[in-house]
Structure 1
Amino acid sequence: MKVALFDFDGTLYPHETFETLRAHLKSHPKYKKNYKHFVRHFAPAYFGYKMKMVPKIKMQNRALESYILSFKGYSKQEIDGFFADVANEMSEELRTSLLEKIQQLKQENYYIVLISGAFIPLLEALFKGVGFDYIVGSKIHYNGNKLDYKTRFERMFADRKIDIIKEHFKNKEVDWTNSQAYSDSITDLKMLELVGKPVAVAPDSDLLSVAQDKNWKILNDF
């Protein structure tokens, strides 16, 4: 089995996903009232980060946690509907060349995995029909049909992505040498190093330096 691993934020989607989510919540005709709840919960971590008292990763975790907690009391259907609205607009800005690459890899019998820190219902709505075999993202918990705001939120990121990948493929024979991985960020270095054919997509400066040093394929023209 050959595998193709795709990052989302900055790779398939060229912008910062959280900033897009924030803007949609602030302007959404039905859910914009949730924005003040998000800000109230997130503000201490944000200002702590700005004052260099809160680590970046903790601030990012609190950002997503605060975001979903702003939907306290809402049903799964309502939350899924909101993310479907966001996905509808985001879909116009996906990198079409990479979507075409995914379809090519599917025809070549690659097992395609999407790996992201974004919320799973957003990813599922955004890539419905694209053909991902497995989607890894940040899970939203429910108690019955309502948002479960008591269960600890876990954001999918960096090394945790590697743990999930290895767990998913532990009983499968994977041809890692001929497998591929696509990402824009140095934070996904371990994911890129898992495969024999890593691809740096519009890479940040740190990943660009590594990719050039290791002679990896670099995609910049879209």
Structure 2
Amino acid sequence: MKVALFDFDGTLYPYETFNILMERLKNHPQFKKNHRRFISAFAPVYIGYKLKLVKKHTMQHKAMEYYLRSFKRNSRKEIESFFRDVANDMIEDLRVPLLAKMRQLKQDNYYIMLISGAFKPLLESVFKDFDIDCVIGSQVNYSGEHLDSKSKFERVYAERKIDIIKKHFADKKVDWQNSEAYSDSYADLQMLELVGNPVAVKPDPRLLAVATRKGWKIHQD
């Protein structure tokens, strides 16, 4: 069994998803109040980050957690509709050559896994018309028809990705040497090193240095 692992932000999608989500929330006619609630909750954390009192990882985690909690007064239907609307706006900006590569790998019987820190319902909406075997993203939990704001928020990030990948394939015989992985970020170095055919997509400077030194394929389109 060969697998193909795809990151989303900066890889399949050339921009930062969270920036797009913030823009949509701020300008959305129905959810402007959510934006104000988010800013009120997140401001102390961001100030702490700027003062170097809060680590970047913690700041990013809290940003997503408070973003999601801003929807606690909305119904599940409203939340999922919001993510679908954002997804529809994002689809046209996806990297077409990578989408074609994903489809080709699927035809070649690779097991396709999309793994990202982006919210899972957003990812599922973006790729609703793609035959992806497994979509991993930061989970949105519900209690009945509303957001479960009391449950612990689990963000999918660099080190966590490796744990998830290994657990997911623990009972499967994977040909890692002939598998592939795609990412733009040095934070995903462990994921790229897991396979025999890593591809650096528009890599950040640190990943570019590693990819160049190791002779990895570098995708610049």
Q: What TM-score, normalized to structure 1?
A: 0.98
Which amino acid is 2:117 matched to? G
Give percent identity, aligned residues only.
61
2-structure distance, mates of 1:55, 1:153: 18
Say which SS state the counterpart of residue 92 (structure 2) adopts. helix
Aligned to 1:52: 52
Match of 1:215 in 2: 215
Please report how far the alpha carbon of residue 78 of structure 1 lies from its aligned counterpart in structure 2 after TM superposition.
Answer: 1.1
Over 2 Å off, 4+ runs? none
Corresponding residue for 1:111?
111
* Secondary structure in structure 2 of the residue aligned to 1:30: coil
Shift of residue 7 of structure 1? 0.2
Q: Which amino acid is 1:131 matched to?
A: D
1:73 maps onto 2:73 in alignment: yes
- The residue type paired with residue 92 of structure 2 is E
Q: CA deviation at 1:73?
A: 2.2
Task: Let me know the Cα RMSD of the aligned residues.
Answer: 0.7
Spell out the pairing of 1:58-207 with structure 2 (5 A cutoff). Answer: 58-207=58-207
Q: Secondary structure at the match of 2:171?
A: coil
When the two structures are aligned, how many residues end up with a matched partner?
Answer: 221
If the length of structure 2 is used for normalisation, what is the TM-score?
0.99
Amino acid at match of 1:70: S
**2: distance between equivalents of 1:66 and 1:92?**
28
Give the deviation of 1:70 after TM superposition.
0.5
Which structure 1 segments of 5+ residues have no match?
Answer: none
In 2, Cα distance between equivalents of 1:79 and 1:162 = 29
**3-state DSSP of counterpart to 1:181:** strand
- Structure 1 range deviating more: 4-13 or 24-33: 24-33
Which is further off, 41-50 or 180-189? 41-50
